[in-house]
Structure 1
Amino acid sequence: MARTQAADYGERREAMLDQAAALFARAGFQGASMIELAGACKVSKSLLYHYFPSKEDLLYEVMTSHLDQLVEDVDAVTSSNVSNGEKVSQLAHAFMRHYIGAVDRQKVLLNELINLPEPRRGAIIRKQRLIIDTVQDLLSGLPTAPKDKARLRALTMLFFGMINWTHTWFDPMGAVSPDDLADMVAALIMPEKGL
């Protein structure tokens, strides 16, 4: 007979992912043992294994759940009936809002991908490329977009560079709000929007 799931299975699993992301962000994948991860999650090691069969599974789920949210943001924005410029601006805002609440997951995604073996690393990279390529397609439709592919790719990566690393320096409670920062990113990428 199949084992039934607890009513709060999804909530508990998500809480474990948050705690694991915090430990991975602080200690790195190699520096975090399953015993330490279980302690951080306030569960027994056996219960942690019930939710995640291996440390690698836990790392993968931290990363993929973060990227899945970003893909949802991309899907929601790209399906809207607004200009490409407005979509780029909306994505800057959506990404900033998401990153503010997922600082640890963002750190893990940026720093620990090397610890995932194939094919999981490839799955993460494909999701990242989908997001990057979508933004590049939106930027290519702007009147001021570079016509040269290399320059267009550079512009796209500048967009992500401005947002992806905010966890290292940005204080969302500081003088510049996340929305203000997203507006600045959009204005720098699309000068016609103005600062």
Structure 2
Amino acid sequence: MARTQAADYEQRREAIVEEAAQLFAARGFMGASVADLAEACKTSKSLIYHYYPSKEDILYAVMASHIDQLVQDVSEVSAEGGDAKAQLRAIVHRFMQHYVGAASRQKVLLNELDSLPADKRAEIVTRQRAIIDTVTRLLCEISPDLASDPARARVQTMLLFGMINWTHTWYDPAGPVGPDTIADMALSLILC
């Protein structure tokens, strides 16, 4: 007889992912064991493996949960419509809000991609490229001269992501400058 799923199954999976994000961000994927994760979750290794078949599956869940939120942001902004500048502004603002609340997941996404098996890494990279392509398209709509120079358009896109993606390394949520101000500052540098 198949084992029934606990009513709080998804909440437990998410709790494991949250602890794993903190642990992998602090120690790196290779520096953190499933035993460390079980200790952080105040549970057993076997219970961790009940929810996730492998440590790599947990890493994938950390990354996928974060990148899927960003993909959703892009999709929602696109569905809302508006001109390219308004859409780009909305995307960057949403991303900065998520980066503040998910600094560990962002750090894991940026630093541990090579720790994923090739098939899972390809899935994450495909989602990242979709985001990058959307932002590149918006930049080209805002500055039509970029459309005739795809290499420059891609560089401009990556400069924008370079500014916002790494804020987790220095941003202080209790500091005097909020994420919306940082988003506007990054946009003003890119769109000048």
TM-score above 0.5, yes or no: yes
Matched residue SS, 1:2: coil
Kindly state the Cα deviation for residue 144 of structure 1 after the two structures are TM-superposed. 5.6
**Stretch deviating more after TM superposition (5-14 or 150-159):** 5-14
User: In structure 2, what is the equivalent of residue 108 of structure 1?
Assistant: 108
User: In structure 1, what is the equivalent of residue 178 of structure 2?
Assistant: 177
User: In structure 1, what is the equivalent of residue 72 of structure 2?
Assistant: 72
User: In structure 2, what is the equivalent of residue 141 of structure 1?
Assistant: 141
Kindly state the Cα deviation for residue 137 of structure 1 after the two structures are TM-superposed. 0.9
Q: Distance in 1 between matches of 2:100 and 2:106?
A: 9
More helix per residue: 2
Q: Distance in 2 between matches of 1:8 and 1:68?
A: 22
User: In structure 2, what is the equivalent of residue 128 of structure 1?
Assistant: 128
Q: Distance in 1 between matches of 2:93 and 2:117?
A: 32
Q: Distance in 2 between matches of 1:160 and 1:154?
A: 10
Q: Distance in 2 between matches of 1:182 and 1:112?
A: 25
Asked if the contact 1:85–1:190 (Cα under 8 Å) also holds between the matched residues in 2, the reply is no
For normalisation by structure 2, the TM-score amounts to 0.96
Q: May I ask how many residue pairs the two structures share in their alignment?
A: 191
Kindly state the Cα deviation for residue 145 of structure 1 after the two structures are TM-superposed. 4.9
Unaligned ranges ≥5, structure 1: none
For residues 58-114 of structure 1, give each alpha carbon's deviation from its aligned partner in whole angstroms, at most 9, with x where no partner exists.
Answer: 011111111100100010011112110011000110000111111111111111111
Name the amino acid aligned to 2:39. G
Matched residue SS, 1:79: helix
**Stretch deviating more after TM superposition (5-14 or 62-71):** 5-14
User: In structure 2, what is the equivalent of residue 157 of structure 1?
Assistant: 158
**Percent identity of equivalent pairs:** 58
User: In structure 2, what is the equivalent of residue 188 of structure 1?
Assistant: 189
Kindly state the Cα deviation for residue 2 of structure 1 after the two structures are TM-superposed. 2.6
Q: CA 1:145/1:159 → structure 2, altered by over 3 Å: closer, same or farther?
A: farther
Unaligned ranges ≥5, structure 2: none
